A and B are shown apart, each in its own frame.
Chain A
């Protein structure tokens, strides 16, 4: 079990030369992720979802201060443990394509990741992981700049899965993909959860996350508002506890496609 308890994050920044101020960007963030579960985290951009992912894996920017607790299997997940597990049992699929090394062919990058993750035969493990995502033949030999956005995103996913990590944090893995590849990536994450891994799927795309997720946590303005089973997103959202989650569900194009009325919007902001 991976647990986030009351996580809060502050940014320190300087105003002028001497005055230092702290800006709180996350507060009261709590969620749990079980083995075999696909847990989606949804919310608007700028709500702090990616910061939560970086805090989990221990790769926060230098000017942040963290409060609250992280636990993994009943023991605190501190910086030393994060560093020991990162890339082996705990893997992040980053949002930015800049995470790929521009000077290395994609197959080799995936093989490196497999080696870090402890695979006995990294080259073959990389090939397997890439083939599962439809990256075969020529695309495996290409450099990152020769890949389309969708292919590069699948290379990042292959890097995280080649090493057999137990906990996967996928930060917007399907953004910019056409429907076929988006479904392919989401199905792959579902399969990983079904083989006993814990998968945290961070996304702004509520509708497609619902197809594969067990539970959904709604993030808004730096905090986790509620965690609901995926089936609670149904009908007019009566089963949802928070107004924001209901508004998010009702705003989908195949539902009401409505923005909240001005009065409600003011309460949500």
Chain B
């Protein structure tokens, strides 16, 4: 169980984007998070993944504090993969940075063997997104924050990416927070859905 308790964070003095947010994500659970642009969805995602430190509040994983060093068990998958890879590294090095996915895993995510020799700019956005997602699935990762990872993909590529991720998450009992605007997609993927509005979480139908 990943628990966030009373998370408060703002970027400017006196202004809070997140106001005392509490959230629980169980192992194996898929939770949908929606909200208008600028509502703080990505900020919350980055707090959960340890990229941002909250001004107030705490994060716990199975009742214990999250590790400060080494592999973080909560991984953030970003919306724009181009900004999450080193442009001077070949795909082979990008993909194997934290762990080495097997050839079978690469195939499940539709990553071609010929891509490994290429540089990030030589892949399309959808192709690079699959590389970035698989890179984030190192053994030891228990929760994923999928921050609009499919909004720039066509429908077929989108469905293929989510299915590969769903198989992997089921096999390893990963908890997934899906951040997105697309109500139909969140409904399809997530048993439970919440909405971020004026810094607060609301249950969403």
Using CB atoms and an 8 Å cutoff, list the residues of chain A in contact with chain B: 42-46, 148, 150, 175-181, 204, 206-207, 247-249, 251-254, 257-260
Of all chain B residues, which has the CB nearest A255? B155
Determine the distance from Cα of A43 to Cα of B181 in the docked complex, in whole angstroms.
Answer: 21
Q: Please classify how large the interface on chain B is, using the bins under 10, 10 to 19, 20 to 34, 35 or more.
A: 20 to 34
Decide if B171 is an interface residue (CB 8 Å cutoff).
no
Of all chain B residues, which has the CB nearest A254? B184
Decide if B37 is an interface residue (CB 8 Å cutoff).
yes
Determine the distance from Cα of A80 to Cα of B1 in the docked complex, in whole angstroms.
Answer: 65
Given contacts A44-B157, A257-B159, contact A204 B181 (CB under 8 A): no
Q: List 6 A-B contacts (CB under 8 A).
A: A43-B154, A44-B153, A44-B157, A207-B155, A248-B156, A253-B188
Of all chain B residues, which has the CB nearest A172? B152
Given contacts A45-B126, A259-B163, contact A150 B155 (CB under 8 A): no
Residues of B within 8 A of A207 (CB): 155, 184
Given contacts A45-B126, A150-B37, A178-B36, contact A254 B155 (CB under 8 A): no
Of all chain A residues, which has the CB nearest B127? A46
Determine the distance from Cα of A22 to Cα of B164 in the docked complex, in whole angstroms.
Answer: 36
Contact A204 B184 (CB under 8 A): no
Of all chain A residues, which has the CB nearest B157? A44
Residues of A within 8 A of B151 (CB): 175-176
A-B pairs, top 7 by smallest CB distance, nearest first, are A251-B155, A259-B160, A46-B124, A254-B184, A178-B37, A253-B185, A251-B159
Residues of B within 8 A of A180 (CB): 36
Of all chain B residues, which has the CB nearest A204? B154
Residues of A within 8 A of B22 (CB): none
Residues of B within 8 A of A45 (CB): 124-126, 152-154, 157
